[in-house]
Structure 1
């Protein structure tokens, strides 16, 4: 079984939502048993709950992340992952500082989902909603979901499920 690792800063907003959204997409496509999906944060305090606004906006999609607990990014998690999807270029750099040999398997989520269609300077990062309004969380959730659905439809996860 291949592992997909999502990375953000605190592992309480973006990466926890991305993890849950991809699991939901996998379930919709009868592929949940074929891919392990995990998340971590570059500055996470292990054991923190998902942020209340993340929980709320995911509930609107019928996804419960109230049981999520944050995990600090480690070399072991990087080594376990077949693909590492970060929320920003800075997160990608942090992964590569821990594991320079992971360069071929680490991408920002938008690089992975949109490839050459994304403007790497302008639109590549998924901004942190922490501390912002519920509307910002909804926008972040929708941006993550759009990217993951595109990646699934383009069969970018194909090698993980075959």
Structure 2
């Protein structure tokens, strides 16, 4: 493992704290974690924005300086660069996978990867199985229709006057594809609704004690992950 990417929404609170705490833990772990790079990004980050005031304050209490942190927008390039992607919530995970479906094998919520799910592990296993089925059906579907879809997409760029006709056909194909996975997708949604524990608390706009609780929650998960890394 060379690069760990933390992902949240704005990259000024949760992922910035996770990045800075993880970096300090890796330094404390010494030689066992040498060479591991830690970065963070936000799905809706404003490039260059500083860490939130309370995030800076709470990290100062841990002797970590976040004053120089600047938000980084999440890109496909960052996803491809990372060897492990840890998101703060299931929604962030979904956004990562919508940008890079092939990153599913290395993308987890922080709590998922830390294994701090207790009795929820069976549900997670079932979700992953269903998501695997969904991905396979999508791949099979596009393989079946790629000879039609690819030329249509090319024509859409070149022939503006035929754009509506092409769009209509693409929508028909997408609706047909959606029907092939609707049962599995419904089950995934149902099971995900049973998993409130996999998201990291969002402290944005809250008082400093909420940030402190969020940092504590992240830190506990990171301790488990550091143990996983150093045990390998």
TM-score by length of 2: 0.65
Aligned residue for 2:28?
28
Aligned residue for 2:41?
40
Selected match of 1:126 from 176, 181, 200 = 200
| Contact 2:41-2:74 within 8 A present in 1 as well | yes
Larger radius of gyration: 2
CA displacement at 1:8 relative to structure 2? 0.1
Could you say what secondary structure the match of 1:68 adopts? coil
For the residues of structure 2 that align with 1:12 and 1:106, how far apart are their CA atoms? 20
For the residues of structure 2 that align with 1:147 and 1:107, how far apart are their CA atoms? 12
Aligned residue for 1:58?
59
Q: Does 1:106 align with 2:180?
A: no
For the residues of structure 2 that align with 1:70 and 1:116, how far apart are their CA atoms? 29
Question: What is the 5 A alignment of 1:120-159?
Answer: 121-153=195-227, 155=228, 157-158=229-230
Aligned residue for 1:68?
69
CA displacement at 1:33 relative to structure 2? 3.8
| Contact 1:8-1:91 within 8 A present in 2 as well | yes
- Name segments (4+ residues, structure 1) moved above 4 Å: none
Greater RCO, 1 or 2 (C-alpha within 8 Å, sep 6+): 1
For the residues of structure 2 that align with 1:146 and 1:36, how far apart are their CA atoms? 20
Q: Specify every segment of 5 or more residues in structure 2 that has no aligned partner in the other structure, as ranges.
A: 125-194
Greater per-residue helix proportion: 2
For the residues of structure 2 that align with 1:118 and 1:55, how far apart are their CA atoms? 34
Could you say what secondary structure the match of 2:25 adopts? helix
For the residues of structure 1 that align with 2:38 and 2:55, how far apart are their CA atoms? 18
Aligned residue for 1:5?
5
For the residues of structure 2 that align with 1:148 and 1:53, how far apart are their CA atoms? 20
CA displacement at 1:116 relative to structure 2? 5.0
CA RMSD of aligned residues (A): 1.7
CA displacement at 1:117 relative to structure 2? 2.3
